[in-house]
Structure 1
Amino acid sequence: MKKLIARALVPLAVAVLGLTALTTTQTPAQAAVVLNSSDVTANLWEWTWDSVAAACTDHLGPAGYGAVQVAPPAESISLATSDGGAHPWWEVYQPVSYKLTSRLGTRAEFAAMATTCHNAGVRVYVDAVINHMAGANNTITTTYGGSTFNPSGYGYPAVPYAYDDFHHANDGWCADDDAVIDDWNNTSEVQNCMLLSLSDLKTQSATVRTKIAAYLNDLIGLGVDGFRVDAAKHVAQPDFAAIRSQLNPTTAEGRAPYIAQEIFTGATNPDLKPAAFTSNGDVLGFSYAMGLRTQFTNGTLNNLATIPSWSLDATSDRTAAMITNHDLERDGTTLRYQDGARYTLANYFLLAYPYGRPFVYDGFTFSTSNTGASPPADTNGFVTDANCGNGAWQCLHRSTGVKGMVGWHNATAAATTVSDFTTTASNVIGFRRGALGWFGLNASGGASTATYRTGLPDGVYCDVISGAATSTGCTGASVTVSGGSAAVTIPANGAFAIHAGSRSGGGSTTPPPSSAVAVTFNGTVTTTWGTNVFVAGNVAALGAWSPAAAVPLSSAAYPVWSATVSLPPNTAIEYKYIKKDESGNVTWESGANRTFTTGASGTATRSDTWR
């Protein structure tokens, strides 16, 4: 949501697919392949549905991205004129109905995109605008789908919503004379008054909640796997929890949809800080993005060793981490594509450091003198397909370096901590993720050569930022690890990354198993009815950390849950217990990963108590 659109908010209108249509039976978009077990998301903001589908097939799926985030799909206002020019980008944040006819494509194109992305192994997350409808101060009422609305009368018949479905000045909820938020630390005002004159939905109403849930369930029925909830700070936590309780499981995996909430930082009131909202899902990492901008701008990458001591918005497991998004790049409060190498290096770091779920952002290019300008579009405002060769679109997600780092992130996911953080200079650093991978970053103007402890077995490894490992060698730079260390030359304003799977020639860094070790897991875990317990870990036999592939445990000796698993011999194993409820919600036990090393053969037993 744009924080500065308080200007003359204008029209909206769209197609005729009201709430009645939302309740019709949908054909689920089923995944034809197993979805990628990665927590990396590409945020392709205001890309058309056809462009997103092509990106999933050609780049995101093959590179190992776990999801793609798309812009709001609901019918919105259509402004031929505004203070930002014709058809400003923020039109899509002013919905007039929940029909899926938008400037980004049709309902059929959206459904086809979801199916195509699933077929490529990629989940689909939608930017959901549920706090408000189009602005009550609009004077133009044209829309992209032809729906009508009455802004001053708070009438949105295509949903339908009427006057009593919204908050108003001094109505018992919004204790403010103009009904617009003025005190950003007043919880009642922030959550019950209008954000920048946008018609604020009365989410305390069961009727309103049901209509919002119907919209989200319509999207789930078409294959949507999660939501980035716009302006979630302005919806009371119990209200959103009530909406979430009505959501269906996803069609591809049968689990609760992923939630990432936009909770802009800055409030001093604890009830309005991001951490207060994590019971409903993840929160966007605004402070993390702003903190990274400070360190990269100041050339103090050595400070990145102590990220947990920063003033972060939430814990790592509850943060959707990013370098920027559409609001932040326009405000200049974070790094953005205009920052060149620093921006690219920060994205590499985002994928290398184990904090949050990484979201790699790509929108369209813009002038800092007109931050409200439209994405590339025709004269009627319908966005044209993304073209990564004409300079109008940002396409970092498909670069060799970022795709290589997505693979590196996935390959090192089981190592959840950083070791041997080395500062060669204030702006040259290196670190390893256990014995799975090493990463180095050089934000200086000259190449830097130093010896680093990699944690990897001896051999020749290919840098995944400049190229890849093949059966015959490396397509980019390479380095030799000897005695676990390597003398690495990191190019100026560049990075270097190797992992256990990037060995030159495609050789394995793990000796082939001679015989399996039968390991019995006995976890003492108390549960509620309908909840089951699983064990997940860093090897394929334990699901490679994917909850969907975790090993189910038997409750025959409750509260001890047990299973015997064949694991590779002489292997360092990391694991944790997880709970899954009837809705597919997953809860991981707290604390560090449990660890042990299997023997050469035979059996072993692990007896643990849930943390």
Structure 2
Amino acid sequence: MERRLRAAIGRISAVALMGTAGVTAVVLTRQADAAESLNDSDVTANLWEWNWPSIARACTDQLGPAGYGAVQVAPPQESVTLPAGSGGAHPWWEVYQPVSYQIHGRLGTREQFSAMVRSCHTAGVRVYVDAVINHTAGSNNSVSTGYAGSSFDPKGYSYPAVPYSSADFHHKGAECTDEDGRIDAWNDPGEVFNCELSGLSDLKTEKAGVRDKLTGYLNDLIGIGVDGFRVDAAKHLPPADFAPIVAGLHRTTAEAKAPYIAQEVAPGGTGDLALSRYIGNGDVLGFSYAYSLKEHFGNGTLSDLQYLPQWDLGLAGAGTAAMVANHDTERDRSTLSYRDGATYRLASWFMLAFPYGKPFLYDGFVFPAGNTDQSPPADSTGAVTATDCGNGAWQCLTQATATKGMVAWHNATRSVTTVSDFTAPAATVIGFHRGSLGWFGLNASGTASTATYATGLADGTYCDRITGGATAGGCTGTPVTVSGGKATVTIPANSAVAIDGNARSTGTACATVAVTFTATVTTTYGQNVFVLGNQSALSTWATSGGTALSPAAYPVWTGTVSLPANTTVEYKYVKKEGSAVTWESGDNRTFSTGSACTKTLTDTWG
């Protein structure tokens, strides 16, 4: 929160939108239907600024079946709407400027939010909400209307839809002694707690009436079915003020337990701002962990990761919401991000493999390097449009086959909280196992690496989770043979191998082959890449169908399709944009599926 807003508020220049009047009280909904059972996993998919119907689909189709324990969603309350500005219309940080606590905003309505929570629970996935409770929309806004039509007076600190009045905020010359009313001294508790973060109206959380309204907002969400909260700008909430709010929260509807809490507290503070002062109210986001991963993956010193348990990261792993990146750090480049390609994916898989903290996997939207304020894909009113993992506008790491395989590996091994036989054949190649439950190897170099590792596993044939795992009768992923507790493993360049006791091959022959098409293709915005061929699964050359490839690793496009074993296949890649279809030139590509359960093709077009 701190990084993104120090400069953002000063750039606002907007006009007010007309809308319907807001309500002045939080309306409780009926309790959400309790799920039959929720996934036994501490892995969270952070689907940042996805709209509610898209998250519901992701829970049903991807996250639940893959074994994710939770999904983190962006702030759902009504926020300011900014149709113009130097960074473009409707910058992403709108949702971090509340004007009321109605569940109605650019990500959807209260009804859509409730339906999303029910869908996720049905799929076994908890829902954590990004809660903005330190502040409201900035006093220097030039607009006075929110997405649900609520009006507010930014200069007069009046938010009648809550309601808040000027007496509910800290002010320059009173509680805030800084001459400009802003936080300038980031290690001064008086400023950090009582002055404005980039001009955002700072709530007087020491006041019982303010805390009651915040507790009411969070309990409304719990009543809908929310299972926990990521608390935005928690560093600026005195822990003594936040503690009564936490104590006043209801039990969750799905599991009847205290909601999960993860607090955004940037490291570096001492005394009253030390991370240890916040941990009593819940977990803390792992910024130092993310910084360390960037350092070692960036420097190619992966062999040093074996010492991670001894590093001074400010928090014990048990109290850390671990991450490789979030929406702030991918913009200020303080951590790895999707722009780092394979390095980012490898670090995310490592986070799932090495026992430290509760993993939060991040999925946002693609944005130009020169416009870190850019809106997520949205219509002209600012309403965020549906997430499409095939159009190149969204990151979608959480839906990749390898990532879902690593979630399964993490869930299968997490009862063992230490690693054994950490081996580094090279500075950029490592392998280790978690007791007798699973082995993981990672290669961050540009060439394949072959080495022999102690796996801790019983002898047998295991199916690599990265390339597909196990299927009925055999392996979809690459088979790995363990003999005498050891395995000689070839880890492809910039990739990994993960095997565990829940993904073993029975040795039964496969009637079909899971063929992964991997093609390096440069496209223009709006184009998508498909595979067409002479098999029905490839639409028998019909341009209306084919197998859509994912651009998650752009310019590498990937997709997997089941094809008959021992069959000669002809195929070509095409680019589609609306009704326009562009075929690659030259003769048809051909290959034989063979008798193995999996096959990977690596091609380049152009």
Tell me which interval the TM-score lies in, with the shorter structure as reference length: 0.7 to 0.9
Partner of 1:504, secondary structure, is: coil
Partner of 1:64: 67
The normalised TM-score by structure 1 is 0.81
Partner of 2:62, secondary structure, is: helix
Measure how far apart 1:29 and its partner are. 0.9
How far, CA to CA, are the matches of 2:143 and 2:22 in structure 1? Answer: 21
Partner of 2:10, secondary structure, is: coil
Q: 2:266 aligns with which of 264, 267, 272?
A: 264
Partner of 2:407: 406
CA contact (8 A) 1:79 1:142 kept: no
Measure how far apart 1:30 and its partner are. 2.0
Partner of 1:432: 433
Partner of 2:225: 223
CA contact (8 A) 1:15 1:75 kept: no
Partner of 2:486: 485
CA contact (8 A) 2:449 2:493 kept: yes
Partner of 1:441, secondary structure, is: strand
Once the two structures are superposed, the pairs formed by residues 449-528 of structure 1 within 5 Å of their partners are: 449-505=450-506
Aligned-pair identity (%)? 61
CA contact (8 A) 1:76 1:102 kept: yes
What is the one-letter code of the residue matched to 1:140? V
Partner of 1:150: 153
Measure how far apart 1:182 and its partner are. 1.1
Partner of 1:176: 178
CA contact (8 A) 2:445 2:493 kept: yes
Partner of 1:374: 375
Partner of 1:587: none
CA contact (8 A) 1:462 1:479 kept: yes
Residues 263-289 of structure 1: CA distance to partner in whole angstroms, max 9, x if unpaired?
01233x232132221000000000100
Residues 404-425 of structure 1: CA distance to partner in whole angstroms, max 9, x if unpaired?
0000000001101011000110
Partner of 1:581: none
Once the two structures are superposed, the pairs formed by residues 358-397 of structure 1 within 5 Å of their partners are: 358-397=359-398
Partner of 2:248: 246
How far, CA to CA, are the matches of 2:452 and 2:22 in structure 1? Answer: 62
Residues 449-502 of structure 1: CA distance to partner in whole angstroms, max 9, x if unpaired?
111000000000000000111222111211110111100110000000000111
Matched, 1:190 2:162: no
How far, CA to CA, are the matches of 1:255 and 1:18 in structure 2? Answer: 30
CA contact (8 A) 1:286 1:313 kept: no
Matched, 1:300 2:318: no
CA contact (8 A) 2:144 2:152 kept: yes
How far, CA to CA, are the matches of 1:192 and 1:207 in structure 2? Answer: 17
Measure how far apart 1:86 and its partner are. 0.6
CA contact (8 A) 2:457 2:501 kept: yes
Once the two structures are superposed, the pairs formed by residues 284-299 of structure 1 within 5 Å of their partners are: 284-299=285-300
How far, CA to CA, are the matches of 1:15 and 1:124 in structure 2? Answer: 29
How far, CA to CA, are the matches of 2:271 and 2:351 in structure 1? Answer: 27
Partner of 1:576: none
What is the one-letter code of the residue matched to 1:462? C
Matched, 1:163 2:195: no
Residues 168-209 of structure 1: CA distance to partner in whole angstroms, max 9, x if unpaired?
0121x2222222111111011101110000000000000000
How far, CA to CA, are the matches of 1:220 and 1:479 in structure 2? Answer: 45
Once the two structures are superposed, the pairs formed by residues 57-136 of structure 1 within 5 Å of their partners are: 57-136=60-139
How far, CA to CA, are the matches of 2:213 and 2:432 in structure 1? Answer: 49
CA contact (8 A) 1:15 1:99 kept: no
How far, CA to CA, are the matches of 2:332 and 2:9 in structure 1? Answer: 15
Q: Cα gap change, 1:19/1:354 in structure 2, threshold over 3 Å: closer, same or farther?
A: farther
How far, CA to CA, are the matches of 2:309 and 2:10 in structure 1? Answer: 38
Gapped regions of structure 1 (runs ≥ 5): 508-611
Partner of 2:475, secondary structure, is: coil
Once the two structures are superposed, the pairs formed by residues 24-39 of structure 1 within 5 Å of their partners are: 24-39=27-42
Q: 1:255 aligns with which of 238, 254, 257?
A: 257
What is the one-letter code of the residue matched to 1:498? I
Partner of 1:178, secondary structure, is: coil
What is the one-letter code of the residue matched to 1:182? D
How far, CA to CA, are the matches of 2:325 and 2:284 in structure 1? Answer: 14
How far, CA to CA, are the matches of 2:343 and 2:157 in structure 1? Answer: 46
How far, CA to CA, are the matches of 2:478 and 2:42 in structure 1? Answer: 27
Matched, 1:204 2:206: yes
What is the one-letter code of the residue matched to 2:201? S
Partner of 2:237: 235
Partner of 2:591: none
How far, CA to CA, are the matches of 1:313 and 1:141 in structure 2? Answer: 41
CA contact (8 A) 1:263 1:273 kept: no
The normalised TM-score by structure 2 is 0.81
How far, CA to CA, are the matches of 2:296 and 2:302 in structure 1? Answer: 6
CA contact (8 A) 1:16 1:99 kept: no
CA contact (8 A) 2:38 2:69 kept: yes
Gapped regions of structure 2 (runs ≥ 5): 509-606
Measure how far apart 1:84 and its partner are. 1.0
Partner of 2:57: 54
CA contact (8 A) 1:33 1:120 kept: no
How far, CA to CA, are the matches of 1:228 and 1:369 in structure 2? Answer: 28
What is the one-letter code of the residue matched to 1:168? H
Measure how far apart 1:309 and its partner are. 2.6
What is the one-letter code of the residue matched to 1:197? G
Partner of 1:560: none
Q: Cα gap change, 1:506/1:45 in structure 2, threshold over 3 Å: closer, same or farther?
A: farther
Partner of 1:8: 11
CA contact (8 A) 1:43 1:362 kept: yes
CA contact (8 A) 2:469 2:475 kept: yes
CA contact (8 A) 1:19 1:211 kept: no
Partner of 2:171, secondary structure, is: coil
Q: Cα gap change, 1:16/1:111 in structure 2, threshold over 3 Å: closer, same or farther?
A: farther
How far, CA to CA, are the matches of 1:140 and 1:31 in structure 2? Answer: 40
Measure how far apart 1:16 and its partner are. 4.8
Q: Cα gap change, 1:80/1:148 in structure 2, threshold over 3 Å: closer, same or farther?
A: same
How far, CA to CA, are the matches of 1:111 and 1:468 in structure 2? Answer: 34
